[in-house]
Chains A and B, each alone.
Chain A
């Protein structure tokens, strides 16, 4: 059973604050790491697929970094807005050609206006 941990479990920030949270995963047999954004009553939305150690990806105000040697990825949100409020999930693939994802419990971000 793979251990994918996310911290913190929840986070409240004020509009305009920048924030970050962590996903830790097994550092051996690394293949990729996925980040998803999940708003209430909607489908989880793919944000990033991180594949190389030292990778940094950016999508608007959201960016992510990857350290495969130590087994963690950070997600950063710059200048949080209320519409960023969501649960952010990371997922670690295994299972060969079936590419099965093991998810963390997520970080619930609430941005107060």
Chain B
């Protein structure tokens, strides 16, 4: 159980175009999903928290107009990188929190990530 899929697994796009990445919880409902980015030799850095039915909460320094997040259902969140530039090339990974788990120690289940290359 607790499987999260992410699509696509890799994408190459031209500078100035937009790219959409999907994150799905396959066997559980997730009110809250998270989007992370990882640059080479760096840690996973939280970009934003995606809440179903409401606006995402962005971390400091992350442009909300550039990284559009939509969490329209309990099993799907999307991240759209708008007007992508080469510096947006990175590894993007999502996680989903299981709404059904009891207790205060929330586990996050991760997708396999998306490698974005902007040329």
**Contact residues of A with B, CB < 8 Å?**
4, 31-32, 34, 36, 41-46, 49, 51, 89, 93, 98-106
Q: Are A98 and B32 in contact (CB under 8 A)?
A: yes
Contact present for A101 and B108 (CB under 8 Å): yes
CA distance A46 to B34 in the complex (A): 15
How many angstroms between the C-alpha atoms of A93 and B103 in the bound complex?
15
Using a CB–CB cutoff of 8 Å, the interface residues on chain B facing chain A are 4, 32, 34, 36, 41-46, 49, 57, 93, 97, 105-113
Which chain B positions have C-beta within 8 A of A104?
Answer: 43
Q: Is the beta-carbon distance between B112 and A103 smaller than 8 angstroms?
A: no
The reply to whether A46 and B109 form a contact with Cβ atoms under 8 Å apart is: yes
Alpha-carbon distance between A103 and B93 when the two chains are bound, in angstroms: 13
CA distance A51 to B45 in the complex (A): 23
**Selected A-B contacts with CB under 8 Å, 27 pairs:** A4-B43, A31-B105, A32-B105, A34-B107, A34-B108, A43-B110, A43-B111, A43-B112, A43-B113, A46-B107, A46-B109, A49-B105, A49-B107, A51-B105, A98-B49, A98-B57, A99-B97, A99-B106, A100-B46, A101-B34, A101-B46, A102-B43, A103-B43, A103-B45, A104-B43, A105-B42, A105-B43
Q: Is the CB of A44 within 8 A of B110?
A: yes
